[in-house]
Structure 1
Amino acid sequence: MSQAGGLGGLGGLGGLGGLGGLGGLGAFTGLGAFLGAGDPGGYDVLTTAGLGTTAEALRHLSGTDELPPKPRELVPRSEDSIRRLAVWVRGSLYVSEFFSGLVWSPGKAEKDGRDTASLIDKTEADNMAWVTLHRPSAELLQKQCSKVLDYAALREERQAEILSQLGFPTPYFAMILGLNTAEHAHTFELITATQVVAAHTVMVPKFLLAVRRPDQVDGRIQPMIPTPGHYSYPSAHATEAYAVLTVLEALIAEWGTLADCKERVYMLRGLAERIAVNRTIAGVHYPIDSWAGAALGQAVGRAVLDRCNYNADKRAATFAKAGVNSEAKAHPVTFVAEDVRSDVDFCDHDLRDEDCSTAAGLTYHRDKAHSAGKTDVFSWLWERAAAERQAKAAAERQGG
């Protein structure tokens, strides 16, 4: 969030500047270069006065007719009407579009009666739960603290990363993909939109499940950064990182112009893991928080792609063409923290390995699949980000 500017322009969302601590940021203020863009603010006093006197002096030259010429009407919901919006206004629309029909529902587990939180799509005939998270017990938190203590040994090595990732770590994704603002404005906007909806999504189960931070359980942990003002489980950083990873895997496969596409996907996965684990090193998350966050993030990322009209069938075809081994379908997933071994750690390899993820308490219901409906503004954004490929394919360059 911090590297993306300031969310000041998103004031119309009920003062998002006050959403401090989303993903550990001191304020939800780091989005301005994307979502604050296009908000001119006010002029200085001298310019305001000068504009006033100039307008008064020149107004008579515009004619004396009582009515101005009849305007050409704009076309609602058209590509042109979306293009004309300031970026921060589109940011409001991304949030509204993403959450259309989606609600979090609290519940109780049949097995042990522990609290659960399920992300449900009300547009599905059976109100399918996309993600269900079970609340971990106090005993499991006690045991997970030993992993947090062990990770403290890496604080000096990871200090620069941890501090610069307090907000959205957009520069890290840009580094791997060679992005720059001159060529990839819409790709940056897509990344930021994904981070924003992921950040909003994860705050609800945090509230519903109310899990203490590690330093509130074990006084020896002593975090190296301020403890965020919200609950620990699931990890917002893991949710955001894996949502962006899921979207970017599809985007660079769609580009089809990176000769080392597969290798960059591997680096993106390593980055998402590293972002998540850095929060455990810092002392503000248990490994189980990253497990829950990564699973939720994947679901959010696939829902964003659906909203972009880039559904599972399109993803499968693109992944096959690009040679990227990535899951195209969005299967419902359940994370039961009590099924986790007390010493379980988080890593991307285990997340993708069926046996390892099952042993960690993660269950993908592969007999089902869910999808979100496409929306106007997300679809508009995807088309433009997809056109920002790093270089034209050889066939295009040769006119073939």
Structure 2
Amino acid sequence: MSELGYGYGYGYGYGYGYGYGYGYGYGQNRGGGGLDNGPKSAALISARDGVVGPWSQASSSTPTQYPDGNPSNVFNWSPRVRAEVFRNILLAPIDVVQSNDSWTSLWVRHAIAPPALVTDPIVVPASAQLLQMQRPSTTLFKEQLEWVNYWSSLRPERMNEILVETEDILAPMASVIDVDPTRMPYTFELLGAFHQTVVSVEMRFKNAMACRRPVRYSAQIQPMIQTPGHSTYPSGHATESFAFAYLLATLANYREQAGPGTPHSAMTEQQIAEQAYRITQNRVVAGVHFPVDNSAGSQLGLTLAENIVHRFRVAAGETPNTPPPEEPVVVSFTDADNYDFDYTKYWPEVIPGLCSAAPPCPPQGVDRNPDAILAELWKRATAEWTR
């Protein structure tokens, strides 16, 4: 897992290594205007005493309330509060189920609306299994030590990248397509909510798999960075990098399809995928992951990203609410699968883009409040890519 700083210390942490620290001072306000320190509070007390005068009930007014249930209401709050709302909505239908054996699965569970409210022409099942993951044997992990040792020769060359990526994986990926938090604030809110959702799910899988890191198999690995204090399998950097890659490639498609003069999305998509691969492989170079960790993490990240992006697009009325695949992605490796990581085996053939219909695709189903909030965030973020 990479520590992207999102939300930590109430700073909203949208810096992602850029140094902007999106919010410019949100880090101290906790919703109170950035004035929660002794000298400023004392100044406000004395200022009020000097200017307010005697209390007058007649001078009070009744403000107009925001419309009840309006999805745009969330954008009247601070980014820190919005982040919690977005993350809660995104995580609500996602479930991770651990079996009694070595398998753990990813499910999405849909709310069942009363028949009178169901207008979708497609019937979506109440629950769908998206992915199954099996814990590899210690035999395979031990065999993969040879790959970890092989890649360690690149440590001097990759050191700066590895150290940056320990805390920040979005900055090197975002540099491919010019994502700027000062010009694209809603995109960064989307990326932040998306990232926290992915991390929450990946940690559930790490806890279920409970696999030891390479250095526990051999002291000769001697990692070049501190070994993280959680399971090696699946790789968090792989999960997050490839989830980000899918989302950013989707947004790149929106930018290209909005008009001429933008980089060709196929080339951009390939470069984003290659950057995700490099970030992921650097964890093996550093000595804290096995290649098989990356194979599992990339599949988890892409599966999650595809589902989350689909939910956003359905909520925004850009695509029909089609059922998920009938068969889940199966992540399983035998003792004979002692291979290096190859992301091209898992990268999807098609990345979504702008709806090709004119006028835009009709909304699917009822505008229920949680979905409407997702739709509002998606529309505001994607608008930043089409101007």
Per the normalisation by structure 1, the TM-score is 0.76
The equivalences for 1:161-310 within 5 A come to 161-255=161-255, 256=257, 257=259, 258-310=262-314
Against the structure 1 CA distance between its residues 216 and 7, is the aligned structure 2 distance closer, same or farther, given a 3 Å change threshold? same
- Structure 2: distance between partners of 1:3 and 1:287: 23
Cα offset, 1:197, TM superposition: 1.1
Q: How has the CA–CA distance of structure 1 residues 119 and 353 changed in structure 2, closer, same or farther, with 3 Å as cutoff?
A: closer
Shift of 1:173: 2.0
Corresponding residue of 1:127: 127
Within the candidate set 352, 377, 383, 1:381 is matched to: 377
The amino acid that maps onto 1:338 is T
Aligned twin of 1:14 = none
Alignment partner, residue 341 of structure 1? 337
Instruction: Mark the runs of 5 or more structure 1 residues left unpaired by the alignment.
Output: 12-16, 18-27, 109-113, 317-327, 355-372, 393-400
Residue by residue over 1:40-61, the C-alpha shift from the partner in whole angstroms, topping out at 9 and shown as x without a partner, is: 1544322211100111222237
Q: How many aligned positions are there? A: 340
Counterparts of 2:68 and 2:18, CA distance in 1: 31
How far the C-alpha of 1:165 sits from its partner, in A, is 0.5
1:4–1:34 Cα contact (<8 Å) kept: no
Whether the 8 Å CA contact 2:148–2:284 is kept in 1: the answer is: yes
Query: Which residue matches 1:322?
Result: none
| Matched letter for residue 388 of structure 1 | E
Aligned residue for 1:9?
10
Identical counterparts, % of pairs: 24
Which amino acid letter does the alignment assign opposite residue 328 of structure 2? P
Within 1, Cα distance between the matches of 2:375 and 2:154? 42
The answer to whether the Cα contact below 8 Å between 2:170 and 2:244 also exists between their aligned partners in 1 is no
The AA in structure 2 aligned to 1:243 is A
> TM-score by structure 2 length?
0.78
Q: Does the 8 A contact of 2:238 with 2:301 survive in 1?
A: yes
Q: Where does 1:35-114 land on structure 2 (aligned, <5 Å)? A: 38-39=26-27, 40-41=29-30, 42-60=35-53, 64-65=56-57, 68-108=60-100, 114=101
What is the CA–CA distance in structure 1 between the aligned matches of 2:72 and 2:315, rounded to whole Å?
24
Q: How many Å separate the matches in 2 of 1:65 and 1:314?
A: 51
Task: Answer with 128-137 or 300-309: which moved more.
Answer: 300-309
Structure 1 residues 131 and 148 mapped into 2: Cα distance closer, same or farther (>3 Å)?
same
CA contact (8 A) 2:235 2:297 kept: yes
After superposition, the Cα gap between the structure-2 partners of 1:274 and 1:329, relative to the gap in structure 1 and judged at 3 Å, is farther
Separation in 2 of the partners of 1:203 and 1:37? 30
**2:223/2:288 contact within 8 Å kept:** yes
Distance change in 2, residues 1:352/1:261 (3 Å): closer
Relative to 1, partners in 2 of residues 1:218 and 1:32: Cα closer, same or farther, differing over 3 Å? farther
Q: 1:388 to 1:336 in 2, by over 3 A?
A: same
| CA shift digits 1:263-305 (9 cap, x unpaired) | 1111100011111111111111111111111111012112221
| Alpha carbons of structure 1 residues 37 and 379: separation in structure 2 relative to 1, 3 Å | farther
AA aligned to 1:56 is D
Instruction: Give the drift of 1:184.
Output: 1.5
Gaps of 5+ in 2: 111-123, 350-367
Give me the whole-angstrom Cα distance separating, in 1, the residues matched to 2:243 and 2:300.
8
- Aligned CA distance change for structure 1 residues 126 and 389 (closer, same or farther; 3 Å): closer
Structure with more relative contact order (C-alpha pairs < 8 Å, separation 6 or more): 2
RMSD over aligned Cα, in angstroms? 3.2
Cα deviation 1:25-69 (Å, max 9, x = unaligned): xxx9999935997351544322211100111222237x6125722
1:21 is matched with which residue? none
